[in-house]
Amino acid sequence: MKIKRHYGLLMLITLIILFYITIYLLQDYSNSRLIAASTFPITAGLISFVWLWKAYRSARKEKDGYFWLLLSLGVLLYASSNVSWLYYQLNMNTQNVPYIADLLWIGAYTLFLIALVYKNQLLRQSIKKHSYLFNMIIFMIIAISVVIHYFVQPIWAGANESVAQLAIDTLYPLVNLSILVVVTSLYYVSMYSKERKVLLLVIFGFFLQILADLLHTYNGTQMNGDYIEPLWSVSLLVIGLAGYYARKGHSYQNWNLPEILNNKRDSIFPYIFIGVLVLLVIESYDWQFNILTAGLCVVFLLILVRQVLLLKQNDRLMEEIKYLAYHDMLTGLENRTKYLKEINQYLKVASQNKHQLGLLLIDLDRFKNINDTLGHYVGDQLLKVTAERLVTIPGIEGKFYRAGGDEFILLLPGATVEKSQEVAKKVIKLFSTSFVVDEYEISITPSIGISVFPNNAKNSQALLKNADAAMYVAKEKGKNNYQLYNPELNGAVSRKLEIENGLRKAINNNELQLVYQPKMDLKTREVIGMEALLRWNNPDIGFVSPAEFIPIAEETGQIIPIGKWVLREACEQNKKWQEEGLPKVCISVNVSVRQFQHSGFVSYVKRVLEETELDPQYLELEITESVIQNIEESTEVLKQLRALGISTSIDDFGTGYSSLHVLKELPIDTLKIDKSFIDDITELEEDSMVKSIIDLSLNLKLSVVAEGIEYEKQASLLTDFRCSYGQGYYFSKPLAASDFEKYLQQQSA
């Protein structure tokens, strides 16, 4: 198999050995040697033509096919020129090269040049020209200097031929020079090509051909050049071998190249050539200025220019690196790294001048909800627009940084507590106008923590830490406000961290439990359902209110596993009660926005129903109004839930987004009116609002549930308003599972 795989290479080696043996055996027979010298290129050319033609046939439907076609035709012309020369030797008894042979050779070289230029253009599209341009220019200058000095000048100096012959003799080294420049370019542009190894054979083949031509021209004026005769044949075979391997496919290209040929950095070749040129100048120098000396001067000048350009480029790159290191690429603001670099200097100046320094930590409220509902692209654009708006606030003598995520830092050198609070008010006012991002109109608010040096902190770490603590208090106080740090805030931050850490272990430690509050038919006062509510009792922290730990779970993402636990526990409990013969009623489970937007949400709900064997009609999922922000995705999820037979409701309606106009588009079943509307239902304005919501729901064929009913009067008014269902402490507080079981038994009795 290996012999068959490298059949072309073995043939090439065999022919090379045969050529040199023949030259050696015929060294005393000049005519026979000349005939053999013409026969070898014909044989090599025909073999090479077959290999290249087959490569063209296999790639003719691709752009690459033209490259192999031009090479194959060029090789055929080359072989034809040798046929004409052999004919003249045999029939005309002359060793002079006929004009027809010269023309065929020049035609072959022209096709070679076109093929190489074409291939260069194909590959050059995938590499930056400037990455190898300097090497090309250096090599070209050296090559031109050497060719003119050693080949063109001797031809013209000893010219005793016709003008036509002199032109042909001059044309050979010039064409070779052109091919040499192009194959050098091909060497660089093929650096990253999958054809690299095949093209190196092409490059090596043409290098041998050029070497043979130039040695022949040089030796023609110096000595007998018999030993170079087989080089033309070898070059043709090497070029053909490239076609042989290209046709066989890339699996035949697993050869190990010398490291110097695989180097994808700037090649060392130009510097080697410069060294060679220096040696040639020394060898040829006779205290007269010649073309080699001129070439060397130009090369050294180019090296000097390049070093200057490299220094400038390095300076520019260093500036870019410095900018990237200290700036946030999304917003264009300086980043946390730059803040950490500058804050100590600001504090030092403030301390020396006995000035104050204010730090505002600005955090965007509910930003994670925007990322979850509208996507990270919209979130990123919102951050960008926010930064643009922040830096345009008038009257602020400070500096903004992006701290990371949705947090921004504002440093106010020389600002007192009062000045810092004034600036915080300006920032909050800035957010009173909605942001328009990617055709979405988004309302977002900031929570701001303020810390002032030296009043609240003596060093940079404490300054930022205290601002962070104040910012969390601002969030806990309803968001969209600012808070000034005071020492008591450290306790609030510590508690938040304690809750966050405790939540991670709550499920495994069986600290979570569900309580159940009945839903009542307001006319018959019968139980028609129940809502599962989450409670957490930590052995170290104690009982933690859902209003305190649910937002933290949302913020940290722990709401996903907690929500899964709640859903499974509620379904299992409802199925258990049904199996015990208790009334079959629907259980409502709250679903967070992050749960609802999670990619595996619907499939998980389906799996829980299958595993608990609960009929889907006895499960209702309560979602918040915020899902309306991403109406298309939310509608799709709701449709999938409805297809499973699960009912859905909008919870706490009226507290979130203005969503009345899209309610008719959502495939929901129930609307739950928030407790805040029910509390003051006796007031005429609230009566009107609640009645309008109920009327709208009934027109949309939605069931209505009123939350937070605490008095009979509220229940009666709601009944008059045609509200069908309600829940609240008037009927029952949330009960533990055992107590709710007794409650159901009493109701059924």
- Which pLDDT tens digit goes with each residue over 650-663? 887 765 444 555 67
CA–CA distance, 303 with 297 (Å, rounded to integer): 10
For residue 626, give Cα distances in angstroms to 70, 288, 364, 442, 678.
Answer: 67, 88, 16, 12, 21
pLDDT digits 0-9 by tens, 374-414: 888 899 999 999 999 999 998 888 999 999 889 999 999 99
Q: Would you say residue 621 has pLDDT above 90?
A: yes
Long-range contacts of the stretch 504-507 (C-beta < 8 A, 24+) = 504/558, 506/536, 506/538, 506/562, 507/561, 507/562, 507/565
Across 23-27, 105-109, 337-341, 668-672, least confident range:
23-27
CA–CA distance, 216 with 226 (Å, rounded to integer): 9
- And the tokens for 747? 């109701």
Q: Would you say residue 281 has pLDDT above 90?
A: no
Angle value at C-alpha 348, between 347 and 350, nearest 5 degrees: 60
Kind plus residue range of the DSSP H or E element containing 463: helix 460-476
CA–CA distance, 706 with 727 (Å, rounded to integer): 6
For residue 460, give Cα distances in angstroms to 346, 411, 453, 486, 739.
Answer: 10, 11, 9, 16, 54
Please state whether the peptide bond connecting residue 173 to the residue before it is cis, i.e. omega within 30 degrees of 0: no
CB distance 78 to 45 below 8 Å: yes
Q: What is the mean pLDDT of residues 190-215?
A: 81
pLDDT bucket at 257, cuts 50 / 70 / 90: very low
CA–CA distance, 212 with 233 (Å, rounded to integer): 10
CB distance 730 to 748 below 8 Å: no
Q: What percent of the chain has pLDDT over 70?
A: 79
Rg over alpha carbons for the chain, rounded to the nearest Å, is 43
Burial grade of 511 (CB within 10 A; 0-12, 13-18, 19 or more)? middle
CA–CA distance, 56 with 49 (Å, rounded to integer): 10
3 state SS of 487 = coil
CA–CA distance, 641 with 596 (Å, rounded to integer): 11
- And the tokens for 392? 């345009």
Q: Nearest CA to 651 among 594, 705, 730?
A: 705
Q: For 273, what's the count of Cα atoms within 13 Å in the CB-facing half-sphere?
A: 22
Tell me the whole-structure pTM to 2 decimals.
0.48
How is the beta sheet containing 446-453 ordered, strand by strand?
334-335, 399-404, 407-413, 357-364, 446-453, 482-484
For residue 665, give Cα distances in angstroms to 7, 597, 636, 661, 707.
Answer: 72, 18, 11, 8, 24
DSSP 150: I
For residues 538 and 627, the model is more confident at: 538
Across 15-24, 63-72, 569-578, 673-682, least confident range:
15-24
- Sequence-separated (6 or more) residues with CB below 8 Å from residue 106: 168, 171, 175
Distance of alpha carbon 147 from the chain centroid: 49
- And the tokens for 212? 């043979």
**Tokens 């020389």, residue located:** 414
How much helix, strand and coil, in percent to the nearest 5, is found in the chain?
65, 15, 25
DSSP 511: -
Q: Give the pLDDT confidence score for residue 222 in this predicted structure.
A: 38
pLDDT digits 0-9 by tens, 509-563: 999 999 999 999 999 999 999 999 999 999 988 999 998 899 889 888 899 999 9
CB distance 243 to 71 below 8 Å: yes
CA–CA distance, 214 with 147 (Å, rounded to integer): 8
Q: Would you say residue 220 has pLDDT above 60?
A: no
Average pLDDT, the chain: 81
**Tokens 């087989």, residue located:** 230
Q: Give the pLDDT confidence score for residue 223 in this predicted structure.
A: 39
CA–CA distance, 369 with 390 (Å, rounded to integer): 21
Distance of alpha carbon 203 from the chain centroid: 36
- Sign of the Cα torsion 463, 466, 468, 473 reads negative
Q: Give the pLDDT confidence score for residue 182 in this predicted structure.
A: 82
Phi, psi dihedral angles at 615 (to 5 degrees): -65, 130
pLDDT bucket at 285, cuts 50 / 70 / 90: low
Q: Would you say residue 241 has pLDDT above 80?
A: yes
- Sequence-separated (6 or more) residues with CB below 8 Å from residue 424: 360, 448, 450, 482
Q: Would you say residue 493 has pLDDT above 80?
A: no
Beta-bridge partner residues of 359: 411, 451
CA-CA-CA-CA dihedral for 419, 420, 422, 427, to nearest 10: 150
Q: Would you say residue 683 has pLDDT above 90?
A: no
3-state secondary structure 236-253: HHHHHHHHHHHHHCHHHH
296-333 in b/e burial notation, b at 16+ Cβ within 10 A?
A: bebbeeeeeeeeeeeeeeeeeeeeeeeeeebbbeebeb
Q: For 321, what's the count of Cα atoms within 13 Å in the CB-facing half-sphere?
A: 6
**Tokens 């400038």, residue located:** 312
pLDDT digits 0-9 by tens, 629-658: 667 788 889 999 999 999 999 887 765 444
